[in-house]
Structure 1
Amino acid sequence: MSTEAAAPPTYGNWRRPRRPGLGPLGMVGTFAVFGGLVLALLVSLASLVAAVVMLVLMVFLLTPLVLRTQDGRNLYQIIALRVGWFRRRAKGAHTYISGPLSQRPEGHFRPPGLLSRLTMHEGRDAYDRSFGVLHNPDRNQYTIVLGCEPDGGSLVDSDQVDVWVAAWGQWLARLSHEPQLRGASLIVETAPDPGTRLANEVLPRIRADAPAAAKAVMREVVERYPSASSEMHTYITLTYAVPPMQKRSQSDIITELAIRIPGLLSGLVGAGGGTAYPLSAERIAEVVRVAYDPAVAGEVLNLRGQHGGSGLEWEDAGPVTTYESVSAYQHDSGVSRTWLLTLAPRGTVMSNVLRGLLQPAPGTRRKRVALLYRPIDPATSARIVEADRRAAQFMATSGKGMVQARAASEMKAAEQTAAEEAAGAGLIEFSLMVTVTMDSQSQLDDAAVSIRNLQAAARLSLRPADRVQAAAFTCTLPVGVLPWENTFVPQSLQEAL
């Protein structure tokens, strides 16, 4: 009999895309260096002083591209962020007021910011289930939201967990082949259980002729159980973009999305998603309404339990007032802060590396962890992995000592990525955002300490989304807002910087 214990499976091999160009300059800085040197040589033929002045000016302009933060931002990007924040404050765009007494058309409580232009539509899938479709007319994008109830990881064999992870990887790889898909997100939201559902299930079933002791016990259970429990919701958003040259009606696009939903749901079930279903337009509006005003969570659940729905529409899913500061976002009955991923776990990790971050945090009003995915088409994936492989080989052969050892490790990871991509695996970019909502600013500062402890346990590096808290808060909602699609500077130019 063999006594060797099977080693638990580990996961990893994610790498930050290597920036093209010389060192930290990027592609734009590299072209500027060579172009400036050539121009300085030509100017030196006429005036040596002018050539020296040009070289000094070039160094002055390129130095901010060399100075970078831990997450890769250069000095120009930091300055642009601060300038944008001061401009928004000068125009009063950091505050928002809605409702009948505001200047908003028709007096509705529309969601603010990036959600102000979205419109809601509804369709029916192959099983005659209602699903909501969020339409962004500015970019002609359509978003569907799927909900699921994942199977827990307790008392589950490691082999089963490995199967679930493999199925989830296959589902993500499928996104690279989804026509016109621009991005996806996975949001896990946790909050204290208000006890509304338990009360609606238990209290109406208490018989009037039951013993007094039995009725007292049941009422005590309804009263005390929610204080030690929490609710958890999982949402998956998929955002599709219709090219401008395709003249298609909204009904045709919604019909096509309805055809895709059953296949997407079956993949989630195989990946341990449990019961998966599309979210209706009313349900999406409820999620957004509760996110902006956590105090109404119990009322929304009560209406849904008694009447089967709240009747809430998208035009009234927003807050009454919001105020954005440098490090926080105040909205109706809550104050939120969002953190952005700057560094993924290095090396290999276990399947439960994010368990502590995803679990309910004691003392928080609401917490959302959003994993953002940007699928890359197979043709582009092949070019990226080959470019990374050549860059890793160059670094491994040109370095010495510890630098060479790290470069050799990167070359091994690049070779493995290239081999997996050639075998049919998909390439996808990902990031992570965490939003915590509290009742007051002082409680939010205490919650920041808990987030630092959780990120250390998850081997992540997070930074607060200072000066963009409102936009970051919106990106963690299940509404299909993709950060890379809502930037002033195009994504291709940002990568070149």
Structure 2
Amino acid sequence: MSTEQTIVRQYGNIAEDRTAGLMGFSMASTVVLGAGAVGVFIAIMASQIWVAVGIALVAFIAATILGSKDRHGRSKPERWLARSMHSKAKKAGKTVYKSGPVSQIPDGSFRAPGLLAATELIDFQDLFGNEGVMLWHPKLKTGTVFFSTNSSGLGLLDQDRVNRLVGSWAAFQRDAGSNARVEQISVTTQSTTDPGERLPDAIAVARQQAGSHEVPAFCPAGDG
């Protein structure tokens, strides 16, 4: 008598964006540290020890300021520059969106705001009869289409179903990579917090509907 062991695959490959510099510093901080190292070397060769110490201290402070990031990934100089540019644009009256004849567009048309002002909105209908909108850039001859998908929600998925979903996503990426007309695909994932009570309830309901009352025990929310 042989027992089959179910192999549960783990899918991941999720990595955080890292800075392009050395030892966690940004590229600007790395350049400052490199220039400071060169200055320290020249000062030491000229027997100017205190000058070398001063250069090293200034370079370290400048690299720390340039390398500090907020939760949006911006350093302090970038925030200062963005705040200054926004203040100048606000004084010039360019921060208020105006469309149509009152806008600053020469033809007085209704365009999308910001960087999308050069694009045009085109309505279309696919082969399945679904209506959609495409952002068409006349100068670059490129179009952007948005579509959304939903997860299974509270529905239970077995391992075979999960494997098929992952395989379908991999096939989509493979086919998109072999299509010369596709320039870029951007994926945005939105998630919401959950108290941890809906999943046990969903499992209990699903097992009751299946005729099995063996519901696995779950720790209450907050008990680890």
Q: Indicate the residue corresponding to 1:89 in structure 2.
A: 90
* CA displacement at 1:89 relative to structure 2: 2.2
Secondary structure of the 2:186 match is: strand
* Cα distance in 1 between the residues matched to 2:177 and 2:100: 41
CA shift for structure 1 position 62: 1.1
The AA in structure 2 aligned to 1:42 is I
User: What do you get for the CA RMSD once the two structures are aligned?
Assistant: 4.4
Once the two structures are TM-superposed, the CA of residue 94 in structure 1 deviates from its matched residue by 2.0
Contact 1:123 1:133 in 2 (8 A): yes
Q: Distance in 2 between matches of 1:15 and 1:149?
A: 22
**Structure-1 separation of matches of 2:96 and 2:87:** 13
* Counterpart AA for 1:33: L
1:24 lines up with 2:24 in the alignment: yes
The one-letter amino acid of 1:38's match is V
Corresponding residue for 2:64? 63
Residue type at the aligned position of 1:99: G
Percent of aligned positions that are identical: 25
Over 3 Å counting, the alpha-carbon distance change for 1:146 and 1:115 in structure 2 is closer
Per-residue Cα deviation, 1:53-76 (whole angstroms, up to 9, x for no partner): 433332232121343345654333
The answer on whether the counterparts of 1:120 and 1:133 sit within 8 Å (CA) in structure 2 is: yes
Provide the rounded CA distance (Å) in 1 between the counterparts of 2:70 and 2:147.
37
- Partner residue in 2 for 1:363: none
Q: How far, CA to CA, are the matches of 1:92 and 1:178 in structure 2?
A: 43
Q: Secondary structure at the match of 1:143?
A: strand
Q: Aligned partners of 1:184, 1:164: CA distance in 2, in Å?
A: 18
Q: How far apart are the structure 2 equivalents of 1:130 and 1:100?
A: 29
Rounded Cα–Cα distance in structure 2 between residues aligned with 1:151 and 1:15? 21
Q: CA deviation at 1:15?
A: 1.4
> 1:134 — aligned with what?
135
Distance 1:75 1:36 in 2: 20
Quick one: which amino acid aligns to residue 88 of structure 2? Answer: R
Q: TM-score, normalised by structure 1?
A: 0.31
Q: CA deviation at 1:166?
A: 1.7
Q: Residue 134 of structure 2 contacts residue 146 of structure 2 at CA under 8 Å; is this kept in 1? A: no
Q: Is the 8 A contact 2:111 2:119 kept in 1?
A: no
Q: Distance in 2 between matches of 1:102 and 1:53?
A: 53
SS in 2 for 1:185: coil
Q: CA deviation at 1:95?
A: 0.9
The 3 A distance-change label for structure 1 pair 160 and 51 is closer
Aligned to 2:176: 175
Q: Which amino acid aligns with 2:25?
A: L
Residues 133 and 142 of structure 1 are in contact (CA less than 8 Å); yes or no, is this contact kept in structure 2? Answer: no
Any runs of at least 4 consecutive aligned residues in structure 1 with deviations exceeding 6 A, and if so which?
Answer: 1-5, 121-127, 129-132, 148-151
Contact 1:25-1:66 at 8 Å conserved across structures: yes
Residue 107 (structure 1) shift? 4.2
Matches within 5 A, 1:276-355: none
* Paired position in structure 1 for 2:36: 36
CA–CA distance in structure 1, aligned partners of residues 60 and 100 of structure 2: 53
Match of 1:110 in 2: 111
Residue matched to 2:15: 15
- Asked if the contact 1:120–1:132 (Cα under 8 Å) also holds between the matched residues in 2, the reply is yes
Where does 1:19-418 land on structure 2 (aligned, <5 Å)?
A: 19-46=19-46, 48=48, 50-69=51-70, 72-102=73-103, 104-120=105-121, 134-136=135-137, 140=140, 142-145=142-145, 147=147, 157-158=157-158, 159-179=160-180, 181-186=182-187, 371=188
Q: Which structure: greater helix fraction?
A: 1
2:30 counterpart letter in structure 1 = T
Q: Which has the higher strand share?
A: 1
Q: Report the alpha carbon displacement of residue 168 of structure 1 after superposing the two structures with TM.
A: 0.9
CA contact (8 A) 1:120 1:134 kept: yes
CA drift at 1:13: 2.6
Read off the aligned partner of 2:40 and give its amino acid letter.
Answer: A
The separation in 2 between residues aligned to 1:149 and 1:63, in whole angstroms, is 42
Q: Give 1:26 deviation, angstroms.
A: 3.5
The 3 A distance-change label for structure 1 pair 100 and 32 is: closer
For the structure 1 residues 8 and 144, does the alpha-carbon distance in structure 2 shift closer, same or farther, using more than 3 Å as the test?
same
Q: CA deviation at 1:185?
A: 3.4
Distance of 1:152 and 1:123 partners within structure 2: 28
**Shift of residue 455 of structure 1?**
4.2
The CA distance in 2 between the partners of 1:12 and 1:174, in whole Å, is: 21
Q: Partners of 2:84 and 2:148 in 1: how far apart?
A: 41
- The one-character-per-residue Cα deviations of 1:191-235 (angstroms, maximum 9, x if unpaired) are xxxxxxxxxxxxxxxxxxxxxxxxxxxxxxxxxxxxxxxxxxxxx
Deviation at 1:97, TM superposition (A): 1.9
Q: Secondary structure at the match of 1:134?
A: strand
Matched-pair contact (CA < 8 Å) for 2:28–2:66: no
1:40-61 C-alpha deviation (Å, 9 max, x unpaired):
3224445725444433332232
Q: CA deviation at 1:141?
A: 5.1
Aligned residues: 194
Counterpart-to-counterpart distance in 2, 1:3 and 1:457:
37
Q: Of the two structures, which has the highest relative contact order with CA contacts closer than 8 Å and spacing of 6 or more? A: 1
> What TM-score does the superposition give when structure 2 sets the normalisation length?
0.60
Q: Which runs of 5+ in 2 are unaligned?
A: 197-224
Amino acid at match of 2:145: V
Secondary structure of 1:15's counterpart equals coil
Once the 2 structures are TM-superposed, how far is the Cα of residue 148 of structure 1 from its aligned partner?
7.4
